[in-house]
Amino acid sequence: GRRAALLGRARQSPTELFPLLKQYVLGNASLPRDDPFWEATAGVFREVIATDPDSKEWMGYCARGDIDSFVAKSCAPGPGSSILAGVPADAWFCGRTAGMDWGAMGAPVADLCNAPSGSAYRPGGICASVGNKQLLIDFVTRGPEQWGIDHTLINVPSQDCLMGILDCDIEYCRRCAGRCSAE
């Protein structure tokens, strides 16, 4: 079906998938939120993103409940630790408010710093409240391609929700220095 066609055309590469996924998602944006297309497309996203070694490692840690390894990898020097507008880049992802200017957004969309542990995929949670349709639309319209233009967009739920790792991200945000507070 459609899922196999998209997966086959992407040839298992996240960088090859993005333009196809964007066209596929936006071309079907009129489908209702509960259409099976959204769950199937989210599944394709997870399969393809898991071909990236870093993504696969984070997804594996989270699936196994190995929060300590997930946090250690996430806190290690890398893009999330680089300074962006005066704070670690992932402070924007986590939704930190102390010492932050959220500009036109005014405030974080997703507050990982204060979200209850294990709540991301429960009813009302950061990911569950949005659903696969909106997560996919946000990924292709407000996701990684736009983060370099407006760094506050990294806080809009999309990629990590689709990867199934946001519950682990909540713990990472709380444990890693500078993500939820200035210390």
* Structure confidence by residue, pLDDT tens digits, 109-131: 999 999 999 999 999 999 999 99
β-bridge mates for residue 84, sequence order: 87
Mean pLDDT computed over 154-179: 94
- Return the number of other C-beta atoms located less than 10 Å from residue 13's C-beta: 11
pTM assigned to the model: 0.89
Backbone angles phi, psi at 131, to 5 degrees: 85, 160
Please determine, for residue 33, whether its predicted confidence score (pLDDT) is greater than 90.
Answer: yes
The residue among 76 and 144 whose pLDDT is bigger is 76
Torsion of CA 138, 143, 145, 146, to 10 degrees: 90
Task: Return the pLDDT at 51.
Answer: 85
